[in-house]
Structure 1
Amino acid sequence: MDLVAIAVSIGVPLLVGLFYLEGLVVGKLLQPPVVFVGYVTVVDPSPYRGAVVAMLCVGGATLGQWTLYRGFNDESPEYLGLRRTIPYLEELPTIVRSRISDRRLGYVERQFEAHGGVGICVTNAVPGVRGLMTIVAGVSEYPRRRFLLASALGNCLYVALLVGAARGIQGVASLVGV
């Protein structure tokens, strides 16, 4: 079985799962953007399939951020009992807090206070700080629908940048004859 066949068969569910974990801030170690760019570069999906894969990844990242937002928002309702059922999910906010420096979190809090939803959207498109405003939005009980909209728009921008990077790599590869 060749690399393209493997990427096609397991690539999309793997990507969505990685983006979900990235939305939880946990996935930063797994580098979903690198996997996504590699997938798009190797598979070279049609525009329709590429758009579907991109939107699934946006949905995964947004769902992960929403899960994190709910973990930091004490007013969030418990829909399915997931916090009690999934091991360590209830402890996730504590784990995330311990991994983010006070300096970085202070900066993110100031930006959130100044820009609100626009800040969520913009920072979701910036590698390195993606998803950090999710924590502040959850703690401050930012309105859920506004959070989801800002998060999804920012994730769309981010994935569009990743698609552009993949297409750029393909262009360079074709120039050098690979």
Structure 2
Amino acid sequence: MQRYILFTCGLLLLGSGYACKPEIKETGATLKYFDLKEFFKTDSARLVKLNPFVKKTVTHNGQSETKTLKTLNWGQEFGLFTSSDINKPAWKDSYAVQENADSLLYKAKFPELKTREIIIHKSNGKVTSVYILNNVHNLLYNSTEKLFYQPGKYYLIEKNQKVKVMGGNNYLVKGEF
């Protein structure tokens, strides 16, 4: 249980890094890319109303713990998803966009961007899945996050980090509705 608490706190700290920056809506700029923050805010509100049971599994370096929970803080659960928002004014031309009949694909044009790829699948105008790939690489630290959300079914957070002095950690969080 202590590992679960430490892991959750770590995810919250990582996800809150963008919380102090002003929203693009405050600047008066229009959004160029899909609005991840609004999507997850709206879906969080929907989940609060539904209050579904969630089978949540947390795995750290191969050791798992599973619990069935009724009440979750959806803002925290989706924190890594919303922190992957690419609608920052400085990034307005930083992503290649490929729009298909049933999907949107955003790929980073520059290697220094944390969010490398976002794929949003839609059916009849509704989002059916969101996939996000984040990567941070420098001399001391390498971190890869794969985030997947399928509304009404499950969310998955897979994180691999390697710190030169401390070694590696692998995390997996899966919540099934």
Structure number with greater Rg is 1
Greater fraction of residues in helix: 1
Greater fraction of residues in strand: 2
State the TM-score, normalized to the length of structure 1.
0.31
State the TM-score, normalized to the length of structure 2.
0.31
Which protein, 1 or 2, shows the higher relative CO under an 8 Å CA cutoff with sep ≥ 6? 1
